[in-house]
Structure formats: C-alpha cells, structure tokens
Amino acid sequence: MLAIRLPEQIEKRLGRLAKRTGRTKTYYAREAILQHLDDLEDIYFAEKALREIRSGRVKTIPLEEVMRRYGLGKTAKPRKITKSK
C-alpha cells in the first residue's frame, strides 16, 4: 500500500483525466509510476556503471575490438544469409 500527496494542480489534472476516461485516479497514478520506474532504474544503473568505469573498478572494451571479436566492421568477411525453408 502506498499513499502519496500530490500538488493540487496535479491532483486536478488526474481527476479530470479519470473522469473523461472512466478510469480511476489510482489506475493512472499506478500506470505513471510503473512506466517511470523503469526509466529511473535505467538511469540509476547507468550512473552506477559510469561511476565504476571512471573509478577504474571496471574496464571497458573499445568498440573496434568488440566489432573485430564479432566479425563486424570494414575488415569483416561478409556472412552468408540463407533463407529458412
């Protein structure tokens, strides 16, 4: 269970949206949180990874090396594409 206080203007907007669509304010608040939570988690993990790279705890691999390892790039041999039957 979660209880939140919203600024009056946001509460009104949420109420209008709920009334126009026949859904509840809770429905829209939940949807907004679920969608935004993914973004917040992505940002947190990206910032954490960046701190680890900058501190030297994690090493990076240059793009050219990754491309070479996986046969991508200018010097890579073209792969044959076969059609599935």
The encoded tokens of residue 49 equal 């990874």
Per-residue pLDDT, 51:
96
pLDDT digits over 28-50, tens only?
999 999 989 999 999 999 999 99
pTM: 0.53
Query: Domain-by-domain residue ranges, the chain?
Result: 8-69
Q: What are phi and psi of 82, to 5 degrees?
A: -110, 145
Measured CA to CA, the distance from residue 53 to residue 31 in angstroms comes to: 34
